[in-house]
Chain A
Amino acid sequence: MVQYIIRRVLINIPVLIGITMAVFLLISLAPGDPLSAYISPELGRDPEVIAALRTKFGFDQPLPIRYLNWLGQALQGNLGFRLKTFDPVWPVILQRIPATLMLMVSALSIGIIVGVPLGIFSALRKYSVVDTLLTGGVFLGISTPAFLVGLGSLFVFSLGLRLFPAGGMHTLGQEESILDTLHHLALPALILSANYIASMLRYTRASMLDVISEQYVTTARAKGLPERAVILRHALSNALIPIVTVIGFSIPNLLAGAVFTETIFAWPGMGSVFVDGVNSRDFPLMMGVTLVTATAVLVFNLLTDIAYAFINPKIRFA
């Protein structure tokens, strides 16, 4: 197991280097002087100072050296300064991560809690009316963009029925409370999970159908076990193994979905600050978020791989 983990980590190192190279390439191609991202506010914009800084930061060096310089700074948590407000980028992103995580974890949990049981049910009642309806729902779920679900729900639940607030994380002018935050979280989390419920349902159904035709399930039935035990203990525990990987490869899409949900609901996470950055052409901020999210995806993939090996010995000893 330890050997497996070490191997997975080693495989991911070149990918991580590749990610930083890709981000650096984008930074070099971005319009404007990349140096301007590193001038801290108190230094001002005096041309002489800028020229001195150019030498100091090595911006007059060839591309590979500049990349190494940039990487060194990035590893120390210096992603430069925002172009408009001069705030350092990394603390801005760091401050936004908890809100995004809260949204993503809620959406993931809703997706699993709703999607998996529905998928099992759908598989057990294959080709029934309910299965057909659920399959239709899955198609609708994967074909409807998050922003449309978001606007539709905002229209119905916030503006029409006035059940949920139309945006933000707290009610203004009111003391922060968990209940208030949950009330603000409910709608964006549900919307972000819509896509996810659909893919969870689809994969659980497929995986369950695969497993049910296996011989050990027939054996369990032949032993005279009650159907409930056959399904829950023998079939389900094996059907869920591949589902773990679904959680892993959904992370990039979940992060992308968060960009829309956060924008629509003014949720103060990484996604909304990223969109602000893109709208104001704040390249240091954009690239910072791009780098952080890609690294996060890589880490989540690694964790999923390890979790998968943990529950599936076939992988661990392969």
Chain B
Amino acid sequence: MLIPATAQSLAKGNSPTQRAWKRFRRSKLALVGLVVVAIMTLLAIAAPIVAQQDPLKNDLLNRSKPPTVEHIFGTDRTGRDVFSRTIYGGRISLLVGLVAVTLSVSIGTVLGLVSGFYGGLIDNIVMRLTDVIMAFPPIIIIMAAVPIVANLLPSEATIYGIMAVIGLLTWPQLARLIRGQTLILRNADYVVASESLGASKGRRMFVHILPQTLASLLVFATFGIANAILLEAGLSFLGQGVQPPTPSWGNMVETARSLDILENLPWSWFAPGMFIVLTVISINFIGDALRDAVDPKSR
């Protein structure tokens, strides 16, 4: 079965990517997730068009109003439109996810490659570093680091500090993953062959080994975005993330820590809360299907 299938796929020009996409498409949930994430991204990009009302403008005549046609998610304690705030909040949440993961993927990939490729002392140092970082409970070390980083930055740059801290503390899992694969790949025949043809270490690592790890890298990045969004939301919920009045999903839910708002203005925290869950669960569906699609064990 195996050989004819390969021959057939060659004839049809079926690349591994196309085959992976075919497996990915089998998961209905992942396709739904893809649509949801696309909508969330579009809403965030087109926020000024979608949300006509000013997310920061207080309207004291329309305070604490339940959802109406004019304010479809209602208004909060100071009369700000919850829908606008949720849409603008999405900009921050998604941006944090994207930037933090880009940083953590870059660090994790490079350190994983170097660690696995060189082995020895370098490998030992990098691996002990991952052990140290992974020993800290995620939200605790991030909460401890953010005020310190924020103190070094001007207050309007705090959000970049948060992205940096999340990125700098979430790379170890990927580094381990890439290291494990590099350990095997560096002795693969094609890599050894390239060495005998005079390929430099850098070329072997980044041109020959790296592409083979892209599949697991992609899966990690997908789950990583969901994780970073949750971390930012948690940080903002505890009052250390995005500072009001700038809306983020986390700091909008944070207002419900007051029992009065929790009980009497459920719409003001339910909407951003649902946006968090919807986005994160969609990304997790995508990640799960992606993992199955690129996993050679699942055929």
Contact = CB atoms under 8 A, between A and B. Distances in A.
Interface residues of B, number: 44
A139 B33 CA distance: 12
A276 to B, nearest CB: 11
B136 A139 contact: no
A22 B239 CA distance: 24
Interface stretch (A76-84, A215-223, A236-244, A251-259): A251-259
Nearest to B264: A159
Contacts of A298: 135
Contact of A290 (B136, B281, B288): B136
Interface string B254-287: 0011010011001001000100110011001100
A255 B143 CA distance: 13
Given A278-B143, A297-B137, A139 B281 contact: yes
30 contacts: A15-B132, A19-B136, A22-B133, A29-B148, A30-B147, A31-B148, A31-B151, A139-B288, A143-B280, A144-B280, A145-B233, A145-B276, A145-B280, A147-B233, A148-B253, A148-B277, A151-B257, A151-B269, A251-B137, A252-B134, A256-B138, A256-B139, A263-B257, A278-B144, A286-B144, A290-B141, A290-B144, A294-B136, A297-B137, A298-B135
Contacts of A139: 281, 284-285, 288
Contact of B238 (A14, A263, A286): A263
A144 B230 CA distance: 8
Contact of B237 (A14, A147, A290): A147
Given A143-B226, A264-B257, 8 more contacts: A15-B135, A21-B132, A143-B280, A145-B276, A252-B134, A260-B139, A260-B234, A301-B135
Interface in A19-74: 19, 21-22, 26, 29-31
A93 to B, nearest CB: 12
Contacts of B152: 29
Contact of A22 (B132, B259, B277, B281): B132
Given A260-B238, A278-B143, A278-B144, A155 B276 contact: no
A142 B276 CA distance: 12
B128 interface: yes
Nearest to B262: A155
A99 to B, nearest CB: 16
Interface of B: 128-129, 131-141, 143-145, 147-148, 151-152, 226, 230, 233-234, 237-240, 253, 256-257, 259, 262-263, 266, 269, 273, 276-277, 280-281, 284-285, 288
Contacts of B281: 139-140, 143-144
A152 B280 CA distance: 17
A290 B137 CA distance: 8
Contacts of A144: 277, 280-281
Contacts of A289: 140
Contacts of B288: 139
B138 A253 contact: yes
A227 B268 CA distance: 52
B225 to A, nearest CB: 12
B136 A293 contact: yes
Contact of A142 (B233, B259, B284): B284
Given A151-B256, A278-B143, A294 B135 contact: yes
Contacts of A145: 230, 233-234, 237, 276-277, 280
A31 B145 CA distance: 11
B237 A260 contact: yes
A30 B147 CA distance: 8
Nearest to A295: B135
A295 B70 CA distance: 53
A20 to B, nearest CB: 10
B143 A294 contact: no
Contact of A18 (B128, B238, B239, B259): B128
Contacts of B237: 145, 147, 260
A228 B253 CA distance: 47
Contacts of A29: 148, 152
A274 interface: yes
Interface string A179-209: 0000000000000000000000000000000
A100 to B, nearest CB: 11
B33 to A, nearest CB: 10
Contacts of B285: 139
A253 to B, nearest CB: 7
Given A143-B280, A147-B234, A260-B238, A253 B137 contact: yes
A146 B234 CA distance: 9
B132 A26 contact: no
Interface string A150-161: 011011000100
A230 interface: no
A279 interface: yes
Nearest to A151: B256
A120 interface: no
A287 B143 CA distance: 10
B259 A159 contact: yes
B175 to A, nearest CB: 15
A281 interface: yes
Given A142-B284, A143-B277, A252-B137, A14 B144 contact: no
B253 A18 contact: no
B18 to A, nearest CB: 26
A166 B139 CA distance: 24
Nearest to B233: A145
A286 B240 CA distance: 13
A253 B134 CA distance: 11
Nearest to B288: A139
A309 interface: no
